[in-house]
C-alpha cells in the first residue's frame, strides 16, 4: 500500500505542482514562499495519505491544503501589517467558494502562464532559468534536475535559491507582460524550453548521447505553453520542432549507444505519431499568422526531413533556402554552420567548405566540436582525407560527450592511417614544454598558449604545415580583446615555439601591443596600520605581506623563494652559488632581498623547522591530475608552492573592507615608495 501512496503523491505533484505554485504566488506575491507552502502540502500528503487513504481527487486535496497554509500565513502577517486584513478576508471568502473537490480558480491558466514568464525572466542567468522552470513547472526535485544536467544537487539547489532571491530583490511582478514586452519575454521562455529539450536530445557531456527525461519535460512544457498561448505562432513552431526531432530518438543511436547520423538512420524507427503531432502543430503555427520566426523556420526544416522517404529524397535545396531565411532572423554562428552543411549537400562540398571556413575566426565557435566535425565531413567529400582526419581528431578532443567523442574517433580511423609527414603539433608542443631549464612560471605561460593552439588546430596538425596565418586567426579569435600584456605574453610564447621548431616566424601577422603600466600607488601609513591591525591574520599571509613591504621585492620573486635560500640570522636571501645548481623553481637571478624585525619575528613560526622546499605553501596537496614540478613541492608536507593568483586573491579579499571602492588592494601596493625610504 505504501509504495502505491508514494507513487500517487509523486504523480499528483508532477501534474499539479505548477498550478499550485502559480496560484499561491498570486496570493502571497513571492514565488519562493509559494513553493515552500506547496512543499508543505506535499509533506502533509506524504504524512496523512498512508493513514487516511488517497483522496478521490489528489490534485484538489493538494491545492486546498496549500491554499489553507497560504491563508494561515497571510493571517499571521496581519498582526504585523494590518493593511493585509482586507486581502486575507477576501481570499478567505474565495477559499470558501472553492471547497468543492473539483474547484479551480477561473484564472488558473493565466496563473500558470504568469509562472512560466516569471521563472524564465531575463533578469536570471540562462542556467538558473532552466533549473527554476523544471523545479516550479516540472515539479522535479533538485536531485532529479541535477541528475539530468550532470551536476551536483548542491549546484541546482544554489541556482534555484539564487534565482528566487534575484526575483525578490529585483521586484519582478507576478503578471503577464504587456504587448510591448510580450515578444521579448516570450522569446526568453521559448529559449529556456528549447534549451531543456536540446540538453536531453543531444547531451553536451556525460556518457550517453541522450537524456530522454529532459526531452519529455520540454515537450510537456511546450504543449502546456501552446494551450496557454494558442495565438502565438512561435509557440506552436517550437512544439512542432520538438515533436519532429523527438520522433527520431529511437533511430539516433546504435546498439552500443553510438550516434547514428541523420542520413544513415532507419526511418522505419521514426515515431509516426510524434511526426503527425509535429505536422499538426506546424499547421497551427501557420494558422496563427504573422511572419515566420526562428522556431517556425526550424520546424519547417524538420518537416522537410520528416517528409523525405529516404536520405536521397531529402530536398536539400529547400532546406538550404530555409536556412538562408533563418540566418536573416537568427544570424547566430551555429545557424550559419548548419546553413553551411545544407549548402554543402545542395550545391557541393566546396561551397559548404567556403561557408564553414568563414566561421573559423568566430570566437563563439572556437571550442565548438561540430565546427571541425563539419569541416571533416566536407574535406572527406573532397577526398582531402589527411586534412579531414585532423579535423575529426580535433572535434573528438573538443567533444565533452563520450558517445560523440568515440564516434568522431571512429570517423578519423575510417579514413585510414595518416601518411608520414613528420612531427605533429601535439607531440612538438609536449617536447617543447618538457625541455630542461624551463622554469615553472614560463612553462605554465607557454603551456596556456600552446593548449589554445592545439585546441584550435588539432594535435594531429602536421608541424611543417603550421603557418603564421593560422596562428594569427587563433590569436584574433582567442585574445583579440585581451589586455596588451596578455596578448604580448602569448605572442612571445608562439614566437619562441616557432623558433625552437625551426619554423618561419609564426607571429608575422601579430603586432606587439603597447603596454601601459600605471604605477601602483603604495599604501599610505594609515592604510598600513589598518592592514596590520586586521584581526586573526593567518600566519602565512601576514608573513608574506610583511616580507613584501619590508624587502621591496617583487611578488613573483618573493613567492619563488625556497627555505634553503633564507639566511634567518642575517635577515636576507643568501647569494646564489654554483653549488646550488639549476633550479626550475627559482628565477635565474635571486633578488637582493632583506627584511626587518616584523618579518624576522614571523618567519621561524611559518617555517616550523622546515629546511627545504618553498617558503610559502598552498593550503592543500595537489590532486593526482595536477602534479606540479618537484621543485614546487614541499618534501616534508607534500604541499605545493603558493601561486601568485591565490596570494593576490587572498590579499584582495582581506583588504576589501579597508578599500573605499570595496575592490580590495593588490599586492604590488605593499612595495614602498623609494622616496619614503
CA torsion 61-66-69-70 (nearest 10°) is -140
pLDDT at 102: 42
What is the DSSP annotation of 468-493? HHHHHHHHHHHHTTS-HHHHHHHHHH
DSSP secondary structure code for residue 361 in this structure = T
What pairs with residue 566 in β-bridges?
A: 573
Task: Tell me which residue has cell 536556412.
Answer: 323
Position 200 scores a pLDDT of: 76
pLDDT, residue 109, reads 55
Contacts with 417 (C-beta within 8 Å, 6 or more apart), sequence order: none
The two beta strands, 566-567 and 572-573, are antiparallel
Residue 3 grid cell: 509504495
Say if residue 487 is exposed, middle or buried (CB neighbours under 10 Å; 0-12, 13-18, 19+). buried
- The Cα 140–Cα 164 span in angstroms is 16
Q: Is 378 exposed, middle or buried (0-12, 13-18, 19+ CB in 10 A)?
A: buried
pTM of the model: 0.60
Of the candidates 159, 235, 161, 140, the one whose C-alpha atom is nearest the C-alpha of residue 193 is: 235
562 is written with which cell numbers?
Answer: 625556497
Regions of the chain where pLDDT drops below 70: 1-5, 14-15, 73-109, 147-150, 179-180, 202-211, 418-421, 517-518, 576-592, 623-627, 673-677
The 3 state secondary structure assigned to 160-229 is: HHHHHHHHHHHCCCCCCCCHHHHHHHHHHHHHHHHHHHHHHHCCCCECCCCCHHHHHHHHHHHHHHHHHC
Residue-wise pLDDT tens digits, 69-96: 777 766 666 554 554 455 455 555 554 4
How many other C-beta atoms lie within 10 A of the C-beta of residue 312? 7
Q: State the first-to-last Cα distance of the chain, in angstroms, to the nearest integer.
A: 84
541: number of Cβ within 10 Å:
17
Using one digit for the tens of pLDDT, what is the confidence trace for 627-638?
678 888 898 888
Torsion of CA 90, 96, 102, 105, to 10 degrees: -10
Whole-angstrom CA distances from 605 to 566, 600, 602 are 14, 10, 6
List, as one string, the DSSP characters of 565-624. GEETTTTEEPPP-GGG---TTS-SS----B--HHHHHHHHHHHTT--SSBSSB-SSPPPG
Query: What is the per-residue pLDDT for 587?
Result: 45
Instruction: Tell me the C-alpha to C-alpha distance, in Å, between residue 393 and each of 256, 353, 405.
Output: 21, 18, 9
- Supply 628's cell numbers: 606540479
The pLDDT, as a whole number, for residue 56 is 77
Which H or E run contains 649?
helix 644-655
**Count, residues in the chain:** 677
Contacts of 468 (CB under 8 A, 6+ apart): 504, 505, 506, 507, 508, 509
**What is the C-alpha separation between 606 and 617, in angstroms, rounded?**
10
CA distance 213 to 225: 18
339 vs 325: CA distance, rounded Å: 10
Hey, what's the cell of 348?
A: 557541393
Task: Give the containing element (helix H, strand E) for 406.
Answer: helix 402-414
Note whether 170 and 123 are within 8 A (CB): yes
Phi/psi at 259 (nearest 5 deg)? -65, 145
The confidence score (pLDDT) of residue 517 equals 65
Q: What is the number of H-type helices and E-type strands within the chain?
A: 28, 2
- What DSSP character marks residue 642? P
Nearest-angstrom CA–CA distance, 20 and 257: 39
User: What does each C-alpha distance from 512 to 43, 453, 467, 480 come to in angstroms?
Assistant: 65, 18, 18, 12
Cα dihedral sign for 126, 219, 342, 384? positive
Amino acid at each position: 500500500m505504501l509504495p502505491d501512496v508514494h507513487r500517487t503523491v509523486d504523480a499528483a505533484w508532477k501534474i499539479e505542482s505548477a498550478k499550485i505554485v502559480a496560484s499561491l504566488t498570486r496570493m502571497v506575491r513571492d514565488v519562493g514562499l509559494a513553493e515552500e507552502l506547496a512543499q508543505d502540502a506535499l509533506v502533509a500528503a506524504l504524512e496523512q495519505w498512508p493513514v487516511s487513504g488517497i483522496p478521490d481527487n489528489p490534485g484538489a486535496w493538494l491545492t486546498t491544503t496549500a491554499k489553507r497554509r497560504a491563508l494561515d500565513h497571510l493571517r499571521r502577517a496581519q498582526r504585523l501589517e494590518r493593511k493585509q486584513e482586507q486581502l486575507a478576508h477576501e481570499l478567505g471568502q474565495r477559499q470558501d467558494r472553492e471547497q468543492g473537490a473539483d474547484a479551480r480558480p477561473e484564472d488558473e491558466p493565466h496563473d500558470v502562464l504568469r509562472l512560466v514568464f516569471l521563472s524564465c525572466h531575463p533578469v536570471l542567468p540562462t542556467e538558473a532559468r532552466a533549473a527554476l522552470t523544471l523545479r516550479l513547472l516540472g515539479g522535479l526535485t533538485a536531485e532529479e534536475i541535477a541528475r539530468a544536467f550532470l551536476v551536483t544537487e548542491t549546484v541546482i539547489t544554489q541556482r534555484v535559491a539564487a534565482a528566487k532571491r534575484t526575483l525578490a530583490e529585483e521586484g519582478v511582478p507576478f503578471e503577464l507582460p504587456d504587448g510591448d514586452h510580450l515578444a521579448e519575454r516570450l522569446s526568453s521562455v521559448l529559449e529556456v524550453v528549447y534549451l531543456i529539450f536540446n540538453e536531453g536530445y543531444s547531451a553536451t557531456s556525460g556518457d550517453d548521447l541522450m537524456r530522454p527525461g529532459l526531452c519529455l519535460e520540454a515537450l510537456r512544457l511546450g504543449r502546456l505553453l501552446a494551450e496557454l498561448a494558442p495565438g502565438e505562432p512561435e509557440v506552436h513552431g517550437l512544439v512542432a520542432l520538438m515533436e519532429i526531432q523527438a520522433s527520431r530518438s529511437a533511430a539516433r543511436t546504435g546498439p552500443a549507444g553510438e550516434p547514428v547520423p541523420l542520413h544513415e538512420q532507419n526511418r522505419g524507427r521514426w515515431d509516426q505519431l510524434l511526426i503527425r503531432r509535429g505536422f499538426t502543430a506546424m499547421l497551427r503555427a501557420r494558422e496563427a499568422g504573422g511572419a515566420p520566426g526562428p522556431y517556425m523556420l526550424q520546424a519547417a526544416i524538420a518537416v522537410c526531413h520528416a517528409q523525405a522517404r529516404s536520405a536521397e529524397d531529402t530536398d536539400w535545396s529547400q532546406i538550404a533556402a530555409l536556412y538562408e531565411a533563418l540566418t536573416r532572423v537568427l544570424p547566430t554562428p551555429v545557424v550559419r554552420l548548419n546553413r553551411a552543411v545544407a549548402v554543402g549537400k545542395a550545391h557541393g562540398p566546396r561551397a559548404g567548405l567556403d561557408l564553414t571556413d568563414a566561421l573559423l575566426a568566430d570566437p563563439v565557435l572556437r571550442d565548438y566540436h561540430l565546427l571541425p566535425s563539419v569541416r571533416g565531413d566536407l574535406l572527406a567529400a573532397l577526398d582531402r582525407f589527411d586534412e579531414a582526419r585532423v579535423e575529426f581528431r580535433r572535434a573528438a578532443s573538443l567533444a565533452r560527450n563520450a558517445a560523440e567523442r568515440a564516434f568522431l574517433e571512429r570517423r578519423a580511423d575510417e579514413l585510414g592511417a595518416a601518411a608520414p609527414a613528420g612531427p605533429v603539433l601535439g607531440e612538438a608542443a609536449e617536447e617543447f614544454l618538457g625541455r630542461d631549464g624551463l622554469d615553472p612560471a614560463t612553462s605554465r605561460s607557454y603551456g596556456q598558449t600552446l593548449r589554445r593552439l592545439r585546441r584550435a588546430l588539432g594535435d594531429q596538425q602536421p608541424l611543417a604545415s603550421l603557418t603564421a596565418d593560422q596562428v594569427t586567426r587563433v590569436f584574433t579569435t582567442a585574445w583579440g580583446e585581451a589586455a596588451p600584456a596578455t596578448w604580448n605574453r602569448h605572442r612571445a610564447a608562439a614566437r619562441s615555439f616557432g623558433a625552437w621548431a625551426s619554423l618561419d616566424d609564426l607571429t608575422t601577422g601579430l603586432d606587439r601591443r603597447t603596454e601601459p603600466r600605471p604605477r601602483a600607488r603604495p599604501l599610505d601609513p594609515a592604510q598600513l596600520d589598518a592592514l596590520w591591525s586586521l584581526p586573526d591574520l593567518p600566519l602565512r599571509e601576514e608573513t608574506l605581506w610583511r616580507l613584501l613591504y619590508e624587502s621591496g621585492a617583487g611578488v613573483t620573486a618573493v613567492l619563488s623563494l625556497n627555505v634553503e635560500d633564507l639566511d634567518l640570522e642575517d635577515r636576507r636571501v643568501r647569494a646564489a652559488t654554483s653549488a646550488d645548481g639549476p633550479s626550475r623553481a627559482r628565477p635565474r637571478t635571486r633578488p637582493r632581498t632583506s627584511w626587518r624585525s616584523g618579518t624576522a619575528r614571523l618567519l621561524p613560526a611559518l617555517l616550523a623547522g622546515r629546511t627545504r622546499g618553498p617558503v610559502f605553501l598552498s593550503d592543500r596537496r595537489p590532486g593526482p591530475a595536477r602534479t606540479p614540478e618537484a621543485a614546487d613541492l614541499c618534501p616534508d608536507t607534500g604541499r605545493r608552492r603558493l601561486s601568485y593568483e591565490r596570494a593576490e586573491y587572498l590579499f584582495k579579499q582581506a583588504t576589501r573592507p579597508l578599500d573605499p571602492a570595496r575592490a580590495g588592494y593588490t599586492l604590488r601596493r605593499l612595495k614602498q615608495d623609494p622616496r619614503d625610504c
